[in-house]
Structure 1
Amino acid sequence: MSIINSLTKRSTLDAAIKQIGKARKSEAGLAEQLYKGAYQGFAKVISDNLTISQALYYWGFGLLHQAEQQDPEQAIATLEDAVSKFSFCLLIAPHYLGAAIDGGVAYMTLARLSTTEAKPRLYSKAEQFFETAGEIQKGSAAYNLACIYALKGDETACLNALTLARQTGSLPDEPVILQDSDLASIIETDWFKQFIADLHTQPAVAASTKTEAVDIDYEPKMKLKKSEDFDYYSK
């Protein structure tokens, strides 16, 4: 980091800290604006720091997988910690695709471990992360969203998401789809059976636009492949 850049960040940080002080003494409406302005300043100070964003992502990644080996009570605390790391990573690196997808996966796992009453809220949180992933890379979390829509009972949205996943190359192999418990509610529907049948008869992407798929070293739960124009770890 250059001296000028360092001084600029220091100035921005000092200004944000002062805004927090003003916010604490202000009325609700003005305080809200000051707090938001301060947060933007903090985000600007730590933005574009590749080392920090990578550390946060892999910290969350480790927590996500550590939770798989824990009892439910421990796992919930670990997953909540993972979500905080992915959220912070996205704050300083808004285009970090891995953090967006894994944040959604963490919330999906939390929902499975939580009470019936808590599930809708947690699935909605997961949906927000997956939508962010889709904004970063179209279709990157389409299959994950299809699972959420199936759990919500929104069959139209589920089919649309599955179709997008197929078109963008993020659809898992057929055996994985058929064994996915998140899709249990739609497995026997006529439209889903037709979708599966079409996988054998219709090309997903035109030959002129299809890119060569390359396996990525990532956990099977994500059901993703990496193509030449798809950088899973893009920042």
Structure 2
Amino acid sequence: MIGSFFRKSKLKAAISHVNKARKREGAEADHHFDSAYKGFSEVIDKDLLFTETLYNWGFALLHQAKTKSGDEAVKLYQDAIEKFSFCRMINADSLGAAIDGGVVYMDLARLKGAAPKDSLYDKALALFQEANRIQSGSASYNLACIHALRNDQEACLSALEDSRDHGSLPLVDDILADSDLDNMKSHHWFIDFVESLKVPEEPEPTPEEKTSEPEVEASSQQPAAETKEPIAEPEKAVPVQEEPATVETPTEEEDKK
């Protein structure tokens, strides 16, 4: 309740700065605009529900775009980029927004037939690197794919090893089926790397190694059933109804100034 009150207060103050900025010029106007932006960011800073909503909105747009083609798909990808960017603006440590934001740029690059050196791949690369900053190795496989598309063997192997070391590699079959890695698949180092991921089959025991286990007589007594005290369900919090925030908006008279 108190947090909501302070947020409303900050929002009103930020809007007031906007109104003042519109009546001034130059550095003084910029000062009020900057103060307003700071206030707006403080209102929504680390708002987990807001960032989670934005992330899932972007996630939905990303996967809908995968089902479309042409301009319709491009529009959905661009909308997804906006949602992920806004999410990261509020919470710079949003891992999902960083990784999936990079995936959007890669999908968009493929859709547009962009060359591996295109800026769309650069933007994807930057987001995957940011994801690794948030959680080491989380996007290393994605980075390996970009390096493979760009024929950078050394960087690709390094990223694959980093992904393996952090437990974020896909299954071997998925790696072999990934077309982004096609440039690397004929190289000996790639073949050796994939082979190193395969779990060797355990040899069957020889007749001499097989031993018969002693039979255990079944007990006539059945173990007593374990009884557990019923667990009480947590009480549900009663939602607090709050009055909607009244937001000051510029009047028509102010618009004419």
Unaligned runs of 5+ in 1: 203-235
Equivalent in the alignment of 2:42: 44
What is the TM-score with the length of structure 1 in the denominator? Answer: 0.73
Q: Tell me the equivalent position of 1:120.
A: 118
| Deviation digits for residues 150-193 of structure 1 (CA, Å, limit 9, x no counterpart) | 11222221111101100011001111111111111111112212
Q: Which runs of 5+ in 2 are unaligned?
A: 201-257
Deviates more, 1:129-138 or 1:113-122: 113-122
RMSD: 2.8
| 8 A contact 2:116–2:149 mirrored in 1 | no
Listed as ranges, the matches of 1:25-104 within 5 Å are: 25-26=25-26, 31=30, 38-104=36-102
Q: Distance in 2 between matches of 1:142 and 1:96?
A: 17
Matches of 1:77 and 1:167, distance apart in 2: 37
The 1:168–1:37 alpha-carbon spacing in structure 2 relative to 1, beyond 3 Å, is farther
> Are the aligned partners of 1:111 and 1:119 in contact in 2 as well (CA < 8 Å)?
no
Helix, strand or coil: the match of 2:124?
A: helix
Specify the alignment match of 1:167 in structure 2.
Answer: 165
> Which of the pair has more CA radius of gyration?
2
Aligned-residue identity in percent: 46
Decide which structure has greater helix share.
1
More relative contact order, 1 or 2 (CA 8 Å, 6+ apart)? 1
Would the alpha carbon gap of residues 49 and 155 (structure 1) be closer, same or farther in structure 2, given more than 3 Å must change? same
CA gap of 1:118–1:177, structure 2 versus 1, over 3 A, is closer
Read off the aligned partner of 1:171 and give its amino acid letter. L
Cα displacement (A) at 1:7? 4.2
- Could you say what secondary structure the match of 1:43 adopts? helix
Question: TM-score scaled to structure 2, two decimals?
Answer: 0.67
Letter paired with 2:79: D
Equivalent-residue separation in structure 1 for 2:153 and 2:13 (angstroms): 49
Greater CA drift, 12-21 or 145-154 = 12-21
